[in-house]
Structure 1
Amino acid sequence: MDYDDQIRNRVKRIEGQVRGLLKMMDEGKDCRNVVSQMSAARNALDRTSALIVSKNLEQCIREEKDAGKNSEDIIKEAVNLLVKSR
């Protein structure tokens, strides 16, 4: 799968959030702020995972249909992947 600039930029932003988290910890910031930033980073990861799965699912379904195969198994696999990531 090709990871486009949109996905790469999301991951770079997440990387920045995690670096910011480490800086907050080094500076001894309040735990509520640290946990809030952790939650934001986790949510960003979850949204990015969903985007990757959805783009991959679209591509896989097209390929399966072109090959004359049933796409139901691919959809189930994608849903399981999303559920497992939570």
Structure 2
Amino acid sequence: MTHHKLPEVARRLARIEGHVKGIRKMIDEGKSYPEIVQQITAVRAALDGAMGVIIDDLVEGVSQSPHGKRKQAATELKDTVSKIL
């Protein structure tokens, strides 16, 4: 796998980490459940976005792999997608 998009994944996870800390602060401040759930939903969507970047990178890895390495790259893609589903 190329891991070309790993820096983008790291940036997204750093933002998600900050967002989760914000949710913890909301809890400490006694914010309402609807407000907290709204933010948790946003974090879930952000995690899905990070997984999407990883899948994109894996797909690119399959298409850009030398012929002899494509089966290995395709297996890695398949295994990763099966964990999501």
Give the TM-score normalised by the residue count of structure 2.
Answer: 0.75
User: What is the CA–CA distance in structure 1 between the aligned matches of 2:12 and 2:82, rounded to whole Å?
Assistant: 23
Alignment root-mean-square deviation, CA: 2.3
Distance change >3 Å, CA 66–CA 23, structure 1 → 2: same
Aligned match for 1:79, one of 67, 78, 81 = 81
Once the 2 structures are TM-superposed, how far is the Cα of residue 79 of structure 1 from its aligned partner? 3.2
Q: Which amino acid aligns with 1:67?
A: G
Gaps of 5+ in 1: none
Once the 2 structures are TM-superposed, how far is the Cα of residue 72 of structure 1 from its aligned partner? 5.9
Give the TM-score normalised by the residue count of structure 1.
Answer: 0.74
User: What is the CA–CA distance in structure 1 between the aligned matches of 2:55 and 2:80, rounded to whole Å?
Assistant: 6
Matched, 1:13 2:21: no
Structure 2 matches for 1:1-86, cutoff 5 A?
A: 1-2=3-4, 3-4=6-7, 6-63=8-65, 65-67=66-68, 69-70=70-71, 73=75, 76-83=78-85
Distance change >3 Å, CA 68–CA 55, structure 1 → 2: closer
Once the 2 structures are TM-superposed, how far is the Cα of residue 61 of structure 1 from its aligned partner? 4.0
Distance change >3 Å, CA 81–CA 29, structure 1 → 2: same
Q: Contact conserved, 1:57 with 1:74, CA < 8 A, in 2? A: no
Q: How many residues align?
A: 81
Runs (4 or more) in structure 1 with deviation over 3 Å come to 68-79
The share of aligned pairs that are identical, in percent, is: 30
